């Protein structure tokens, strides 16, 4: 396990709040070395919202202007006078996790924090060797250009929720914070312990963000083919596709963002959190295997079933795992924990290279990390 002084020092982006309206890109320069152009990060003044995980719509590219201009924005600049470590500080990671737990207890934002981590790492392309061109868990989702991708509609609210934690713990990278929040949300909702490692290096510029279109759609013409195309590109297999789909036991789909779901149902009209949307399960803040049970049963019109959900019980290979998880929650938890950990590491560059384990008992899943 690496100590807080083990990693090499380097230049990183540090946030400072601005109460001005959304402005042109702010740049800062170093006194003796080249500087990175800084970029503002959208910050919404709206209340926390809860929505679906990997969920996109083919029309989202035309509707990506849904992201509201915030009343308050964050700008990111380099600090040239005191270079600091790009890997996260273990003690600060532990403290940040406790703050995330408190946030979850008050804002009921488990689903959107899971989605934040997934959408940062889910851009990974195993066929691209170079970092950060390959995408993945590198903190790029904090930049406005990527937040405006159609699949990321509403994630400005997740960033809005955890930005104060980032401000408090400057020794934690965005890439680590996104994945820490995602894993903690699963665990606090009653899900399995995720075997995580940390030390992900952040990208430094919006120019390093991946192009739009790497995340899955919810209603493609051929759902099974589409899921395989997207997840195989990340290096994931059929079992991992089905296991990860089970995280839809948490959260709701909001039609104003994804184009899917009802404005509200009897399960969502009163919250908790901001009311509305359509959930996959009746208890959409509890992590269990009810997602698979409810899709299989098909008996409640107030529960959402997307084409990419239904295909899990239609495609022969997917169905084998979906049936298993509907019957055996313990098997689902085991496979989900491994798949989530693998997803969280995709494309990441770790400093130190072996990563940082903040819980001695954790045994992390091996994944390509450098």
Rg, Å, the chain Cα set: 19
DSSP state of 270: T
| Residue 119 annotated in active site | yes
Q: Partners of 252 in the beta sheet? A: 279
CB contact at 8 A, 71 and 42: no
- Total Cβ atoms within 10 A of residue 208: 18
One of 16, 110, 119, 149 is an active-site residue; which one?
Answer: 119
Question: Torsions phi, psi of 76, nearest 5?
Answer: -120, 130
What is the spatial distance between Cα 333 and Cα 76, in angstroms, rounded to a whole number?
38
CA 184 to chain centre: 12
What is the rounded distance in angstroms from the CA atom of residue 217 to the CA atom of residue 57? 5
d(CA 248, CA 239): 16
User: What's the gap between Cα 102 and its chain centre?
Assistant: 19
Question: Annotated active-site positions, please?
Answer: 119
């Amino acid at each position: 396990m690496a100590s807080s002084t083990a990693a090499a020092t380097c230049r990183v982006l540090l946030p400072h709040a601005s109460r001005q309206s959304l402005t042109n890109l702010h740049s800062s320069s170093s006194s003796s070395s080249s500087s990175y152009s800084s970029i503002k990060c959208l910050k919404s003044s709206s209340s926390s919202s809860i929505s679906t995980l990997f969920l996109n719509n083919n029309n989202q590219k035309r509707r990506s202007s849904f992201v509201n201009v915030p009343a308050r924005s964050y700008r990111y600049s380099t600090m040239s006078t005191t270079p600091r470590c790009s890997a996260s500080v273990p003690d600060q990671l532990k403290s940040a996790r406790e703050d995330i737990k408190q946030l979850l207890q008050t804002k009921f934002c488990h689903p959107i924090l899971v989605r934040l981590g997934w959408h940062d790492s889910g851009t990974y392309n195993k066929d691209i060797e170079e970092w950060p061109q390959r995408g993945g868990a590198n903190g790029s989702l904090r930049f406005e250009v990527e937040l405006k991708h159609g699949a990321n509609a509403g994630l400005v609210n997740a960033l809005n929720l955890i930005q104060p934690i980032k401000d408090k713990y400057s020794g934690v990278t965005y890439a680590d914070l996104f994945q820490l929040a995602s894993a903690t949300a699963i665990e606090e909702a009653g899900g399995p312990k995720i075997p995580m490692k940390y030390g992900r290096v952040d990208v430094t510029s919006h120019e390093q963000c991946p192009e739009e279109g790497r995340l899955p759609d919810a209603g493609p013409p051929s759902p099974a083919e589409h899921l395989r195309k997207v997840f195989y590109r990340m290096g994931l297999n059929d079992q991992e596709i089905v296991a990860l789909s089970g995280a839809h036991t948490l959260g709701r789909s909001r039609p104003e963002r994804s184009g899917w779901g009802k404005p509200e149902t009897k399960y969502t009209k009163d919250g908790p959190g901001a009311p509305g949307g359509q959930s996959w399960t009746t208890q959409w803040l509890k992590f269990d295997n009810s997602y698979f049970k409810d899709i299989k049963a098909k008996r409640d019109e107030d529960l959402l079933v997307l084409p990419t959900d239904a295909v899990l019980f239609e495609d022969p290979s997917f169905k084998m795992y979906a049936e298993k998880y509907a019957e055996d929650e313990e098997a689902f938890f085991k496979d989900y924990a491994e798949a989530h950990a693998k997803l969280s590491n995709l494309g990441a560059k770790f400093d130190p290279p072996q990563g940082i384990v903040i819980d001695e008992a954790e045994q992390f899943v091996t994944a390509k990390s450098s």
